[in-house]
Amino acid sequence: MTSADWLASRLTGFDSSGIRRIFDLAAGMTSPINLSIGQPDFDVPDAVKQAAIEAIQKGRNGYSQTQGIPALREALLAQIQAQYGTHEDRSLLITSGTSGALVLAMLAMVNPGDEVIFFDPYFVMYPALIRLAGGVPVAIDTYPDFRIDPAQVAERITPRTKLILINSPSNPTGVVAGANELKQLAELAWQHNLALISDEIYRGFVYDETFVSPVQYYPETLVIDGFSKSHGMTGWRVGWAHGPQSIIEAMGRLQQFTFVCAPQPAQWAGVAALHRNMNEYCLQYKRKRDRVIEGLRDHYQLIAPGGAFYVFPKVPWGTSQQFVEAAIANQLLVIPGNVFSRRDSHFRISYAASDHMIDRGIEVLRRMAIEGPP
């Protein structure tokens, strides 16, 4: 027997080797064209940094309440009520990042054997977290246009279905769910007494239309959100969840025995972040999106994303893994699509990068499409 024999079987659902390998390669390259990182390339606003510094200097360095500091919770609830109206059963919890919120939600809601519907391509954590809670991942294919088909969802609902998980704008496709799609999903959730979780971490990056949340159609929706993408605060680990009080209270109990709380100085920074308008970055990223689409549309099959900061083109030859291997040989770092999907036909570009970096990447990708496989 070795120490590996002590590992729990639940870890078989966690395979981060695809993305980890890309990050490891990036660390070893002298001048990589890095279009792989799923985080903003702009810095945290100065006022937000200063708020964290002041919190630290004032001694606000201990545990906060598990639910989060009142100043942040009250400010967020006021924003939510202004957007969706007052809903007596809606409560809010500050979490250790949106990933922490997703972990708590799955553990709070999913029993062993429960089925969880989500959409392929998907954020890499979804199937792993469903399995962690003992649930059964049910992925619904959305190729080739990455739109949700409520009729397909209806066909996959069984007596074991517990919840539907949606991410809009989407990682990795950047596609934004439309109001009609969300309304029909909400109707299905209501008809079948299903929970609906909406991962809205990219809601600050919507380019061509108004963002729509399923909360507008289904007040019982559990929403996951945070500061990581909107304010460049990925390392600060401050997210939040808002939804039915019973669910939020259960997630709070779990947080008390796991993460304890989000970092207190970063929560005070979050209060300042709520007062910082970030629309300028949304406009910058819209221009970056257009730059990528214009540069690749003649050589790649792709869906123009309406949000987030990703493009998910189809590989012009080979599998996504083969194509990405060739890209790496050209100093270009992108993520193979099989990290986010049961298919192996696309790859993810992150345009959260400088225009110079984006242009270098476009040049390599155009050349690879023209020249074909090595």
Q: What is the pLDDT of residues 284-343, one digit of tens each?
A: 999 999 999 999 999 999 999 999 999 999 999 999 999 999 999 899 999 999 999 999
Is a pLDDT exceeding 90 seen at residue 10? no
Mean pLDDT of 45-62: 96
Q: Are residues 50 and 38 in the same domain?
A: no
Residues 88 and 141 in one domain: yes
Model confidence pLDDT, tens digit, residues 136-188: 999 999 999 999 999 999 999 999 999 999 999 999 999 999 999 999 999 99
Does 356 lie in the same domain as 233? no
Same domain, 61 and 95: yes
pLDDT in tens, 239-251: 999 999 999 999 9
Range of the domain at 306: 3-44+278-371
User: Are 165 and 225 within one domain?
Assistant: yes
Q: Are residues 259 and 355 in the same domain?
A: no
Angle between helix 245-256 and helix 97-109 axes, rounded to 10 deg: 110
Residue 282 shares a structural domain with residue 211: no
Residue-wise pLDDT for 80-112, tens only, equals 988 887 777 889 999 999 999 999 999 999 999
Taking residues 207-226, report their average pLDDT.
95
91 and 156 part of one domain: yes
In the prediction, which pLDDT does 37 show?
86
> Is the model's pLDDT at 198 over the cut of 70?
yes
> Does residue 184 contact residue 195 with C-beta atoms inside 8 Å?
no
Q: Are 123 and 221 found together in one domain?
A: yes
Number of domains comprising the chain: 2
Structural domain ending residue among the three candidates 217, 252, 273: 273
Q: Assess whether 264 and 290 both reside in one domain.
A: no
The whole-angstrom separation of Cα 136 and Cα 263 is: 32
Report the CATH number at residue 317: 3.90.1150.10
Q: Which of 273, 308, 325 is the last residue of a domain?
A: 273
Domain boundary among 273, 294, 319: 273
Same domain, 246 and 196: yes
CA dist 226 and 219 (Å) reads: 19
For residue 111, give the CATH number of its domain: 3.40.640.10
Query: What pLDDT is stored for residue 285 in this prediction?
Result: 97
Instruction: Give yes or no: residues 336 and 246 share one domain.
Output: no
